Amino acid sequence: MSSARKSGEVILEVKNISLAFGGVKALTDISFDVREHEIRAIIGPNGAGKSSMLNCINGVYQPQQGTITFRGQTFQHMNSRQVAEMGFARTFQNLALFKGMNVIDNIMSGRNLKMKTNIFQQAIHFGAARREEVANREFVEHIIDFLEIQAFRKTPVGRLPYGLQKRVDLGRALAMEPQVLLLDEPMAGMNVEEKQDMCRFVLDVNDEFGTTIVLIEHDMGVVMDISDRVVVLDYGKKIGDGSPQEVRANPDVISAYLGTAH
Amino acid sequence: MQTTFPRLMLDHAQRRPGAAALREKEYGIWQTVTWQQLATLVRQLACGLAEAGLQRGQHMVVIGENRPRLYASMLAIQSLGAVPVPLYQDAVAGEFVFPINNAEVAFAVVEDQEQVDKMLELREQCPQLGRVWYDDPRGLRHYNEPGLASLDALIEAGRAYDAAHPGFYDAEVAKARPDDVAAMFFTSGTTGNPKGVVHTHFTLLDRANAGKTFDKLTENEEVLAYMPPAWIGQNIFSYAQWLACGYIVNCPESAATVTIDLKEIGPTYYFAPPRIFEGLLTSVTIRMEDASAIKKWLYKTCMAVARRVGPARMDGKPASLIDRIQYRLGDWFIFGPLRNTLGFSRVRVAYTAGEAIGPDLFTFYRSIGINLKQLYGSTETAVFVCLQPDHEVKADTVGVPIDGVEIKLADSGEILVKSPGLLKEYYKNPTATAEVLDAGGWYHTGDAGFIDAGGHLKIIDRAKDVGRIVGGPNDGAMFAPKYVENKLKFFPYIKEAVAFGDRREKVCAFINIDFDAIGNWAEKRNLPYAGYTDLAQKPEVYELVRECVEQVNADLSQDDKLAGSQVSRFLILHKELDADDGELTRTRKVRRGYIGEKYQVLVDALYGGRTEQFIETAVKFEDGRSGSVSATLKIVDVKTFPAMKRAA
Where residue B515 sits, what CATH number does that domain have? 3.30.300.30
Which residues in chain A land under pLDDT 70? 1-6, 260-262
pLDDT given for residue B223 in this prediction = 96
Last residue of a domain, one of B230, B245, B272: B272
Out of B26, B28, B142, the one facing A153 most closely (by C-beta) is B28
* Interface mutation target, options A136, A150, A167, A204, chain B, most CBs of B under 10 Å: A150
Compare all CA atoms of chain B with the CA of A196 and give the residue at the minimum distance: B623
- Burial class (CB within 10 angstroms; exposed 0-12, middle 13-18, buried 19+) of B294: exposed
B257/A151 CB distance under 8 A: yes
**Average pLDDT value for residue range B226-242:** 94
Torsion of CA A82, A86, A92, A93, to 10 degrees: -110
Out of A4, A137, A151, the one facing B260 most closely (by C-beta) is A151
Out of B27, B139, B257, the one facing A141 most closely (by C-beta) is B27
**Average pLDDT value for residue range B146-173:** 96
The CATH class for the domain spanning A1-87+178-262 reads alpha beta
B254/A204 CB distance under 8 A: no
For residue B57, the enclosing domain spans 5-272
A4/B27 CB distance under 8 A: no
Q: Is residue B283 part of a domain?
A: no
Partners of residue A144 in chain B, C-beta under 8 Å: 27-28
pTM of the complete model: 0.83
pLDDT digits (tens, 9 = 90+) for B607-633: 998 998 999 888 877 666 788 888 899
The H or E element spanning position B410 is none
Interface size between A and B, measured as CB pairs under 8 A: 26
On the question of pLDDT at B437 being above 80, the answer is yes
Last residue of a domain, one of B272, B305, B340: B272
Q: Is residue B109 part of a domain?
A: yes
Structural domain spans, chain A: 1-87+178-262, 99-175
B257/A145 CB distance under 8 A: no
pLDDT digits (tens, 9 = 90+) for B573-592: 999 998 888 888 877 788 89
Comparing CA positions, the residue from B589, B383, B400 lying closest to residue B486 is B589
On the question of pLDDT at B353 being above 90, the answer is no
pLDDT given for residue B647 in this prediction = 40
CA–CA distance, B470 with A142 (Å, rounded to integer): 64
B254/A141 CB distance under 8 A: no
Shortest alpha-carbon distance between residue B257 and chain A (Å): 5
A81-84 own/partner pairs: CB under 8 Å, 24+ apart:
A83/A57, A83/A58, A83/A59, A84/A58, A84/A113, A84/A176
Q: Is residue B304 part of a domain?
A: no
pLDDT given for residue A20 in this prediction = 92
**Average pLDDT value for residue range B304-320:** 89
Q: Is residue B379 part of a domain?
A: no
**Average pLDDT value for residue range B179-183:** 96
Say which range, A203-217, B1-15, B208-222, B551-565, has the weakest mean pLDDT.
B551-565
Compare all CA atoms of chain B with the CA of A141 and give the residue at the minimum distance: B27
Q: Which residues of B touch A (CB under 8 A)?
A: 26-29, 139, 141-142, 253-254, 256-257, 260
* Interface mutation target, options B27, B114, B144, chain A, most CBs of A under 10 Å: B27
Shortest alpha-carbon distance between residue B28 and chain A (Å): 7
Partners of residue B625 in chain A, C-beta under 8 Å: none
Q: Is residue B435 part of a domain?
A: no
A141/B139 CB distance under 8 A: no
CA distances (Å), B546 to each of A156, B293, B570, in order? 40, 30, 8
Q: Is residue B168 part of a domain?
A: yes
Q: Is residue B387 part of a domain?
A: no
pLDDT digits (tens, 9 = 90+) for B25-80: 988 899 999 999 999 999 999 999 999 999 999 999 999 999 999 999 999 999 99
How many C-alpha atoms does A132 have within 13 Å on its Cβ side?
18
On the question of pLDDT at B1 being above 60, the answer is no
pLDDT given for residue B395 in this prediction = 83
Q: Is residue B335 part of a domain?
A: no
pLDDT given for residue B193 in this prediction = 84
Comparing CA positions, the residue from B379, B464, B472 lying closest to residue B426 is B379
Out of A4, A150, A207, the one facing B254 most closely (by C-beta) is A150
CA distances (Å), B127 to each of A116, B108, B592, in order? 57, 13, 34
The ipTM estimated for the assembled molecules is 0.80
Q: What's the mean pLDDT when you consider all of chain B?
A: 91
CATH of the domain at B125: 3.40.50.12780
**Tally of domains in chain B:** 2
